[in-house]
Amino acid sequence: MERSLILVKPDAMERNAGGSILARFESQGLKIVGLKMLHVDEELAKKHYEMHIGKIFFNDLLEYITSKPIIAAVLEGKGAIEKIRNIMGATDPAKADPGTIRKDFGIDIQQNAVHGSDSPESAEREINLFFGKDQVFDY
């Protein structure tokens, strides 16, 4: 079993898509083992997106991810990290495959509805940023 962090990003929250996006993952066999709504502050945003520091889109990305409350969830399943990335689709919604979350809910390459960890190392790091040990459940 593998775990991954997903975020329903501000653009999707604003369009009332939080539940629909969680349902996409659940219906593909991923189990919610951690769940919260929060307004990400600049400090957390910088830690979460630390690998993008220095990129041309970094400041806009910080402004966007801190603009509105989001949903954070830890999802568990066999091969969860890759499975979630496939369900999400490509970073740019215009290039995402039909039926993916980003194709159906994303607006543009920044406002792309959802985040999902990209490796086991990122997943562990990101889960620990957003969730305490007692906020993730074994069941």
**Residues at the contact surface with Mg ion, assessed by CB under 5 A:** 118
Q: Give the residue with the Cβ less far from ligand IDP, 7 or 30.
A: 7
Q: Give the residue with the Cβ less far from Mg ion, 26 or 118.
A: 118
Question: What does the alpha-carbon distance between residue 105 and residue 56 come to, in Å, rounded to a whole number?
Answer: 24
Binding mask 51-70 for ligand IDP (x = CB under 6 A): -x----x---x---------
**Crossing angle of helices 18-27/80-88, nearest 10°?**
130
Q: Mapped to the 3 state alphabet, what secondary structure does the chain carry?
A: CEEEEEEECHHHHHCCCHHHHHHHHHHCCCEEEEEEEECCCHHHHHHHCHHHCCCCCHHHHHHHHCCCCEEEEEEEECCHHHHHHHHHCCCCHHHCCCCCHHHHHCCCCCCCCEEECCCHHHHHHHHHHHCCHHHCCCC
Residue among 39, 48, 52, 115 flagged as catalytic: 115
In the complex, least distance from residue 109 CB atom to ligand IDP, rounded to whole angstroms = 5
Residue from 3, 48, 103, 115 in contact with ligand IDP (CB under 6 A)? 115
124 binds ligand IDP (CB under 6 A): no
**Phi, psi (degrees; rounded to nearest 5) at 57:** -95, 5
Contact partner, 110, from Mg ion, ligand IDP, none, Cβ < 5-8 Å per class: ligand IDP
Q: Give the residue with the Cβ less far from ligand IDP, 103 or 115.
A: 115
136 binds ligand IDP (CB under 6 A): no
User: Catalytic annotation on 48?
Assistant: no
Interface residues with ligand IDP (CB under 6 A)?
Answer: 52, 57, 61, 91, 109-110, 112, 115, 118
